[in-house]
Amino acid sequence: MSSIYKSIKEAKQKGQKLLAVLIDPEKTSANDVLWLSEKIKKAPVTHILVGGSTFSGHHLDDLVVQLKAYTQLPVLLFPGHFAQITASADGILFLSLTSGRNPDYLIEHQIKAASTLQKLQLEVIPTSYILIESGTQTAVERVSQTIPIDRKNTDLAVQTALAGQYLGHGLIYLEAGSGALHPVSTDMIQQVSQTVSIPVIVGGGIRSYQGIQNAYQAGADLVVIGTAFEENPHFFEAQS
């Protein structure tokens, strides 16, 4: 078993909850990393995700190198596109958008990324990426041109997650989408996490300490915070 994934599994087994901050390279320059890292280091953040639905710039490598240097935290790529790969990260969430029926996001981007990944030392973590409707059209929905799962259709979310586990995925990511109006419901998190045995990531629209705790209590193993930290760099201080 690989190292970052192994540590996520071990944390799950011990009931230790994990917290990731999502850095969108489209909104963050390498110059921001020093002060952002100071904020991140004071927070109970365990992982950094880097990626975005629409990013196509050239500073991904620089950003990741500096985030790793300043925070010493594991940096995982969270790509919106097959070209969002850099050797300097520790690993990559190798996403398949299994809630959707667009072959580009189910397998095409993955095929295009495969030979690049073969040459690199990145830890590749196969991940079922499950988009849940959240009250507004999010960038993932717009860019992937897929229909999210209805937020009340817990059965479909559970079946999709289970199929991902049977396909051999190592993680389930329940995603309401960045800036979601409503996060994934605690009922859905609970049903999914009680059904699958692999770790469950939950993100999208979580904007408070209570929101993080609600997700953990429902069974999330790792919570992702993006917009709340982007909009308020003091977010984590305000929560402690």
Among 23, 40, 212, 224, binds ligand 1GP (CB under 6 A): 224
The span from the CA of 70 to the CA of 51, in Å, is: 18
Of the CA atoms within 13 Å of residue 37, those in its CB half-sphere come to 19
Task: Find the shortest distance in angstroms from Cβ 22 to ligand 1GP.
Answer: 5
Task: Show the site string, 129-168: x = touches ligand 1GP by CB under 6 A, - = not.
Answer: ----------------------------------------
Q: Which of 222, 226, 235, 236 binds ligand 1GP (CB under 6 A)?
A: 226
Element (H, E) at 139: helix 139-144
Range 171-190, binding ligand 1GP (CB under 6 A):
175, 178-180
5-44 footprint of ligand 1GP as x/- string (CB under 6 A) = -----------------x----------------------
168 burial type by CB count under 10 A (0-12 exposed, 13-18 middle, 19+ buried): exposed
User: Residue 139 — φ and ψ, nearest 5°?
Assistant: -60, -35
Cβ 196 vs Cβ 226: under 8 Å = no
Which chain residues interact with ligand 1GP by CB under 6 A? Answer: 22, 175, 178-180, 203-206, 224-228
